[in-house]
């Protein structure tokens, strides 16, 4: 199983706390350099996290040197295998391939999901029409669609992107609709009272008030899209990073196998953190 890093909502809430924005302009260049070098900007939490990773690697190394290398390998061997996997496995181009599909599928599903969420949120009958379907599709494990997508789109990138899209579009749609519900009629009443026309109602009231919900949609969609792209590569196209993982796994090349796996782990971790940061930046008014 691919270890996808999931997001701890609780943690995201508490770590976004902060008072009024602190002006940064006044700090001098040398002072900043000293601060960076002092490593004091690394929080205690992060040091503990780093310690956890190191502990994990030590245990792995110990376990790997004491068992058959087919089962575990060791971190040091995996590290040594990196250049070879880069060369013979062409990891980098496969990775770019994977990430391109990931980006296309994710961006497409966000645009469609959020727009559809706004449109249906504005029109109650349409909303109620598609609501059960959207919720059902959201809660369906998207992997069941693989045979279907192979039939429709063949075993190329189209099926892969379709699977990513299917996995990611419904969290975006459902979260956006929730935002439209939460806003309620009162904010629109405010707009009407102050003389907003239709465009202003959309751009000054509706869109800003659903941004937090759209960002939640993105945060829920990213890990799902990541599962989808790797699964599609392992089960449909046999290309990209997922294909490489499958190939090394089937050949019992455990040491090589861990190189793309670790790349996937790091990438999904970074994606999750980037989404959290983006959410924080885009919604500075939230506690």
Partner 1 sequence: MSVNVKTQPVLQVSGIRKTYPGEAEPLVVLDDVSLTAYPGELVSIIGPSGCGKTTLLRIIDGLIPHDGGQVKVLDQVVDEPPTSIAVVFQDGRLLPWRTVVQNVEFALELQVHRRLNKQEKERAREFVDAVGLGNFMKHYPHQLSGGMQQRVGVARALARVPDLLLLDEPFGALDAQTRLVMQDWFLSLQRRYSLAAVLVTHDIDEAVYMSKRCVVLTRQPGRVKRVVEFELPDARDRQDVRSLPEFGHYRSQLWQLLRDDAISDAER
For partner 1, the closer CB: 8 or 189: 189
**Which of 122, 130, 155, 211 touches partner 1 by CB under 8 A?**
211
**Which of 10, 14, 19, 125 touches partner 1 by CB under 8 A?**
19
247 binds partner 1 per the rule CB under 8 A? no
Instruction: Using CB under 8 A, count the residues that bind partner 1.
Output: 25
132 binds partner 1 per the rule CB under 8 A? no
Q: Return d(Cα 36, Cα 40) in angstroms, integer.
A: 7
User: Look-up: residue for tokens 């503990």?
Assistant: 48
Helix orientation angle between 91-122 and 254-282, rounded to the nearest 10 degrees:
40
Q: Which of 114, 160, 170, 164 is nearest to 139 (CA)?
A: 170
Residue 273 CB, shortest distance to partner 1, in Å, is 23
For partner 1, the closer CB: 7 or 209: 209
Tokens describing residue 231 = 């699964």
Given a contact cutoff of 8 angstroms between Cβ atoms, the answer to whether 78 and 262 are in contact is: yes
User: Look-up: residue for tokens 């391109």?
Assistant: 100
Residue 109 has φ and ψ, to the nearest 5°, of -70, -35
For partner 1, the closer CB: 253 or 283: 283
Residue 118 CB, shortest distance to partner 1, in Å, is 16
Q: Return d(Cα 275, Cα 201) in angstroms, integer.
A: 27
Buried (b) or exposed (e) across 152-175, using 16+ Cβ within 10 A? ebeeebebbbbbbbbbbbbbbbbb
Residue 194 CB, shortest distance to partner 1, in Å, is 5
Residue 196 CB, shortest distance to partner 1, in Å, is 5
166-205 residues in contact with partner 1 (CB under 8 A) are: 186-187, 189-197, 200, 204-205
Residue 286 CB, shortest distance to partner 1, in Å, is 8
Other Cβ atoms within 10 Å of 177 Cβ, number: 26
Residue 25 CB, shortest distance to partner 1, in Å, is 14
Tokens describing residue 40 = 């004091």
**Which of 1, 10, 14, 21 touches partner 1 by CB under 8 A?**
21
Residue 221 CB, shortest distance to partner 1, in Å, is 22
Q: In Å, what is the CA distance from 183 to each residue of 96, 118, 121, 207, 254? A: 40, 12, 10, 10, 52
Residue 23 CB, shortest distance to partner 1, in Å, is 10
Residues in contact with 257: Cβ distance below 8 Å, sequence separation at least 6, in sequence order = 73, 245, 248, 249
48 binds partner 1 per the rule CB under 8 A? no
32 binds partner 1 per the rule CB under 8 A? no
Strand, helix or coil for residue 90: coil
For partner 1, the closer CB: 12 or 57: 12
Binding residues for partner 1 (CB under 8 A) = 19-21, 186-187, 189-197, 200, 204-205, 208-209, 211, 283-287
């Amino acid at each position: 199983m691919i270890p996808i890093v999931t997001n701890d909502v609780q943690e995201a809430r508490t770590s976004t706390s902060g008072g009024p924005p602190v002006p940064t302009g006044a700090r001098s260049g040398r002072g900043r350099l000293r601060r960076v070098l002092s490593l004091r900007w690394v929080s205690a939490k992060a040091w503990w996290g780093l310690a956890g990773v190191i502990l994990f690697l030590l245990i792995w190394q110990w376990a790997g040197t004491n068992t058959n290398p087919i089962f575990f390998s060791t971190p040091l061997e995996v590290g040594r295998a990196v250049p070879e996997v880069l060369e013979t496995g062409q990891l980098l181009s496969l990775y770019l391939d994977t990430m391109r599909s990931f980006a296309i599928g994710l961006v497409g599903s966000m645009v469609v999901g959020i727009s559809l969420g706004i449109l249906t949120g504005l029109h109650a009958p349409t909303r109620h029409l598609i609501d059960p379907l959207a919720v059902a599709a959201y809660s369906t494990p998207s992997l069941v669609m693989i045979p279907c997508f192979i039939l429709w789109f063949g075993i190329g990138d189209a099926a892969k992107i379709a699977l990513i899209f299917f996995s990611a579009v419904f969290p975006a749609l459902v979260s956006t609709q929730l935002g439209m519900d939460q806003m309620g009629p009162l904010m629109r009443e405010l707009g009407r009272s102050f003389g907003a026309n239709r465009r202003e109602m959309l751009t000054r009231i509706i869109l800003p008030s659903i941004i937090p919900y759209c960002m939640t949609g993105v945060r829920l969609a990213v890990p799902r899209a990541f599962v989808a792209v790797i699964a599609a590569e392992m089960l449909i196209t046999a290309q990209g990073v997922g294909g490489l993982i499958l190939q090394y796994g089937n050949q019992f090349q455990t040491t090589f196998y861990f190189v793309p796996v670790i790349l996937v782990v790091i990438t999904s971790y970074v994606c999750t953190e980037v989404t959290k940061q983006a959410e924080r930046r885009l919604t500075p008014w939230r506690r």
